[in-house]
Each structure stands twice: as C-alpha cells, then as structure tokens.
Amino acid sequence: MITLITFPETFGEFAASPFCTKAAYLLQMSGQPWKREDTLDPRPFKYGKLPAIRLASGDLICDSENIRVHLEALGADFFKGLSADDRACARAFTVMAEEHMYFHQVLDRWANDEIFKILQIEFFSMIPTLLRGFVTGKLRKSLLHGMNAQGLGRFTPEERLARLEGDLQAISARLSTRPFLFGNTPGAADASVAAMLGGMRASPVETLQSKRVGSDTALMDYVNRMETTVAIR
C-alpha cells in the first residue's frame, strides 16, 4: 500500500496544499491502493516540501510530478487517448496551474494580514505561543520576499486578479464543451487545475480571488465534478 504524506485537510479542502490534493487525485486515478498520513512538518522530506509518498518498501518519492512519473512506471496513463497536440496543451495547463495560479493562491493567503492570523493558528499551533509570532513572522517574510523576487508579489490584489483572469478564462473555454479539460474523463491536467481552483476557493476570509473563483458556477461545478469522479475522501 502506498502512503501519501500530506498536509491535513484545511478550509474544507483535502489538504492545505493543492500539490497534495493533486497527488491524491493521481493516486486515486492510478488505481493503486493508498492511504493518507497527515503531517504539518515538511522539513524531513527531500525538498522540504509536501507531498511525498512512502512505498511498501519504505522508499520515499517526493514532489507531485515525481509521484506522477512513479505511478506511470507502475502502469497508470494520465493522458489516455490524447493526441500529441492535446498532450502538449495538457502540459501547458499543468504548468499554468502549478507555476502561475499557485503563486496567486500563496499571495492571497500569506499577503493578507487577516488570513495570516488564521494561518498562524491553523498551521502552526504546535509552536509554543510565545515563539509562534517570531517563527511565523520570519517564515512569512521569507515567503513574501520570494514572491517579490518572482514579481507577482509586487502587484496589488486588484492587479493580481486581473492577471489571473486570463488563466480562469482559458480553463472556462476548455470546459465550455467538455466535462474535463481533455474530454469525458479526468487526467493529469485536471489533477493540477482542479486542485488549484479548489485551493483558491478555500479561503477563511473572502478575498477578491476567493470571491471571483468561488462564485464562478462553471469552475465550481468542475471542481465538484472532479471531487465526485475521483473520490479522494
């Protein structure tokens, strides 16, 4: 049995991290038996991030893309029936979700003072109260520094929303004629995109982003369809 090491359920989603939700979707679609093991501490793992999977042998595979490659080596096909064109497009949607939309989600949570206060309790309650403010403040500073270097961190929430709009419209365009991004069955791109949209709607405080995504019926129907079709909990 494969064990998915994941952040716990947060704000109604499978995990605090869309990459953990993605990995759960991939595991479930692969048909391999798996179970979840929750942790709030990613530091022991190879990249200091989650998700990771532990194989029956005890070996660990870290990073959701490495997990996908491993499951494919076991026989899973997350691109079944796709033309070379569609595969190329699926790759682009995956990267759009993971390397662009994700940073919007990070900023929506970590740059917002009100949400940050909630994150301090939700994710870091194991740190003694006296130390918690210091540790989480340092973490937040380093994260926002990274987002500033990446560039999106320099945008206002309104500018970020305007930049995200193109991604949301690209997803909506695909879904206007099919239930999943590449047809009637979900695949690798859906695992990334639906997980990311789910993360965006899951905000403990309404933001411009959570309102835009959460009130988009077509996008929310898609996330719910994914959750029902690929039952990860």
- Residues near ligand GSH (CB under 6 A): 17, 19, 42, 48-51, 63-65
Query: Least Å distance between CB 18 and ligand GSH?
Result: 6
10 or 185, CB closer to ligand GSH?
A: 10
* Smallest distance from ligand GSH to CB 84, Å: 24
Query: What type of residue is 8?
Result: P
Could you list the beta-strand ranges (E) of the chain. Answer: 2-6, 34-38, 52-54, 60-62
Distance in Å, CB of 221 to ligand GSH, minimum: 25
Complex with ligand GSH: residue 6 or 175, whichever CB lies closer: 6
Local structure of 14: helix, strand or coil: coil
For residue 158, the minimal CB distance to ligand GSH (Å) is: 24
> In one letter, which amino acid is 148?
N
Selection from 71, 59, 56, 60 nearest residue 24 by Cα: 71
Q: Which is nearer to ligand GSH, 49 or 212 (CB)?
A: 49
What's the min distance (Å) between Cβ of 13 and ligand GSH? 11
To the nearest 10°, report the CA torsion of 146, 169, 231, 89. Answer: -80
Of 50 and 197, nearer to ligand GSH (C-beta) is 50
Residue number, 136 or 207, with CB nearest to ligand GSH: 136
Which burial class, exposed, middle or buried, applies to 122 when counting CB atoms under 10 A from its CB (0-12, 13-18, 19+)?
A: middle
